[in-house]
Structure 1
Amino acid sequence: MGIWKRELLSTTRGNFEIFTKEKGYPLCITHHYSVFNETGDYFADTFTKSNKVFLVNLREAGHSNKAVEPFQLSLVETILDLEAIREELGFSKWGFAGHSTGGMFGLIYGIYFSTSLTFTVIVGAAAREYATFSKDCIYNPKHPDYERMQALVESINGSDVSSQKKIELMEERTKLSLFEPKKYKEFFSKNIHKHMARTRISYFNREIQVFDVTKKLELITIPTLIMCGRYDIQCPIIYSIEMKELIPNSKLVIFERSNHYPFLEEAEEFNQVYNAFVKERDPSF
């Protein structure tokens, strides 16, 4: 697939590291705490077949500016940063696609800045805190794999774990979020390497406890494509169904043989759904 082009963009809100690839209609993609580099991202790669993708490192990620104040890591402040990036790039509008916590940004973006977007794509996400009230979520103590997931996370974050052992533990953790774990190496076979911004994770773990934008979803006025795996254990399907019911101009597509990664687990179908969605809005796509 080739490497992504790196750029350090100076905006009115600071400097942000972005990676771009391919051509076509501009599409912004980011994630709450991922740190991207020239090798790209599995989710973002999905859209390079049809769009010029702008993969953004947020504050505290990569070479983007640090946060001067903690609140700059919040969901709303991050959307203001994305708006500054869009303006600096010279786009009157662009699309946004987000997976998991990236999808949460898509919701906030649509609520406050629908006029800056042509559409949003929300994959495996939720409009409110997703663990406390859903036993289908692996972060809920009632989930059968809760203890195993917690043990894996604790081990991965341990200071005495070797790099090789950490890779093995991360693979096992990811397998818990696949409909067919045996296909892990088939799905994650590209030379893509990224890590996580610990400062952003710490802030997110606090903010998510009071996260609930369900009552504001009706303010999203742009076309919204919601996609979710039937067996998603991170953001269970009930939350995608809830978003579909509350976002006026939205469409929900459920992938019957997917867990948290439908863009890999059912890649062909995922691409077909996305292409059909954007062609409804632009026949020339």
Structure 2
Amino acid sequence: MHYEIHGADNRPTVLLSSGLGGAAQYWIPNLPTLAARFRVITYDQSGTGRSPAELPDGYAMADMAADVASLLDNLGIERCHFVGHALGGLIGLQLAVMRPTLLDRMVLVNAWAKTHPHTLRCFAARKNLLLNSGTTAYVAAQPLFLYPPDWMASRTAWLAEQDAAGVTHFPGAESVLRRIGAIEAFDLSDQVGQIPHPTCVIAARDDMLVPSGCSVALAEALPNGELVLFERGGHACNVTDADGFDAALLAFLGR
């Protein structure tokens, strides 16, 4: 997998894991603040961005977690903080079950223990767009699930650039569908109560893809979980409110 390292080597390590898009560039708004205090690893997940791969039938969250474990092993990193957004947060939960000693603290952004029926409905609609209307329609719909309406309305030029890049670098329908399938099948609700890592669950009340109640329930189920709930910010609250997100992240990781 393609990966990048930001910040000084003598600092504690933080690994950032993106959502369905899977690309390291998702974390660009947060990198300057984080890299000033930590050694930060970002990566393109298998089958996305600069990590092209043919994903197998039955591709699952365990496969994505195994990729992260292999990356950390290859880099000689025995323990790190983990920050994951949505699907990336699910990877963190799965890794905490599979290789608990690799993780110190976790920050899970708009994540969940079991995929909610509303989220399943949203992904069903996205799959229908991809299969029946094509890549351009699928990419154009993505911001509707990520950002608040007023935030998008003031950034039409930026969104147009993002749409164009999304079409140009689209990883292929098969890869996207198998990654969505892993999300749909995810259910660690009977195991999160056994995950001991200090975990900050960050969510936004106006997330239209994942109901904020999923994060509330996750924080309550984790033995050492705590909740930070933003009133606004949408599914990609680390992008739409980067300053607020960074402050919450640093307060938790800096303890």
- The answer to whether TM tops 0.5 is yes
State whether residues 76 and 108 of structure 1, in contact with CA within 8 Å, keep that contact through their aligned partners in structure 2: yes
Deviation of 1:151 after TM superposition, in Å, equals: 7.8
CA distance in 1, matches of 2:150, 2:17: 25
Displacement, 1:185?
4.8
Q: Which has the larger radius of gyration?
A: 1
Aligned to 2:30, what secondary structure does the other structure show?
helix
Counterpart secondary structure, 1:270? helix
Of 27, 31, 53, the residue aligned with 1:43 is 27
Q: Find the residue that maps to 2:148 and give its secondary structure.
A: coil
Q: What amino acid does structure 2 have at the position aligned with 1:116? A: L
Q: 1:239 aligns with which of 210, 214, 219?
A: 214
Residue by residue, what CA displacement relative to the aligned partner does 1:90-137 show, whole Å, maximum 9, x if unpaired? Answer: 11111211111111111111222221111111101211122x2x4xx5
**Count of residues in Structure 1 that have an aligned counterpart in Structure 2:** 243
Partner Cα separation in structure 2 for residue 70 and residue 250 of structure 1: 34
Alignment partner of 1:101 is 2:87: yes
Q: Whole-Å Cα distance in 1 between the matches of residues 186 and 22 of structure 2?
A: 23
Residues 124, 227 of structure 1: 8 Å contact kept: yes
Which residue of 42, 56, 62 corresponds with 1:55? 42
Work out which of the residue numbers 148, 152, 155 in structure 2 matches 1:179: 148
| Higher RCO structure (Cα 8 Å, ≥6 apart) | 2
Does structure 1 retain, via aligned residues, the 8 Å contact 2:207–2:233? yes
Which 4+ runs in 1 deviate beyond 6 A?
A: none
Deviation at 1:227, TM superposition (A): 0.5
AA partner of residue 143 (structure 2): T
Instruction: Select which of 173, 182, 188 maps to 1:213.
Output: 188
Q: Distance in 2 between matches of 1:128 and 1:200?
A: 22
State the Cα distance separating 1:45 from its structure 2 match: 3.8
Distance (whole Å) between structure 2 residues aligned to residue 45 and residue 202 of structure 1 = 27
SS at match of 1:55: strand
CA shift in 2, pair 1:267/1:157, >3 Å: farther
**What does residue range 274-285 of structure 1 map to in structure 2 within 5 Å?**
274-280=249-255
Aligned residues: percent identity? 19
Which segments of 5 or more consecutive residues in structure 1 lack a partner in the other structure? 1-15, 141-145, 281-285
Structure 1, 23-32 or 91-100: larger mean CA deviation: 23-32
Q: Aligned residue for 2:101?
A: 115
Cα shift at 1:258: 2.1
1:269 partner amino acid:
G
Match of 2:57 in 1: 70
Q: CA deviation at 1:174?
A: 1.0
Q: Which whole-Å CA distance do the structure 2 matches of 1:122 and 1:46 have between them?
A: 15
Gaps spanning 5+ residues in structure 2: where?
none
Counterparts of 1:118-137 in structure 2, within 5 Å, are 118-130=104-116, 132=117, 134=118, 137=119
**Residues of 2 paired with 1:153 and 1:232: CA distance?**
21
Who is 1:21 aligned against?
A: 6
Q: Match of 2:2, SS?
A: strand
More helix by share: 2
Q: Are the equivalent residues in 2 in contact too, given 1:43–1:99 (CA < 8 A)?
A: no
The 1:74/1:153 distance shift into structure 2, 3 A limit, reads: same
Mapped contact 1:110–1:219 kept (Cα < 8 A): no
Q: CA deviation at 1:268?
A: 1.9
Q: Distance in 2 between matches of 1:233 and 1:70?
A: 29
Q: Given the superposition, is the C-alpha separation of residues 269 and 60 from structure 1 closer, same or farther in structure 2, using an over 3 Å criterion?
A: closer
> Matched residues in 2 for 1:247 and 1:258: separation?
24
1:158 to partner: Cα distance: 3.5
For the 8 Å contact 1:34–1:196, the answer to whether it is kept is no
Alignment of structure 1 residues 264-279 onto 2, 5 Å: 264-279=239-254
1:210 offset after TM fit, Å?
3.1
Distance 1:21 1:188, change over 3 A: farther
Counterparts of 2:157 and 2:254 in 1: how far apart (Å)?
29
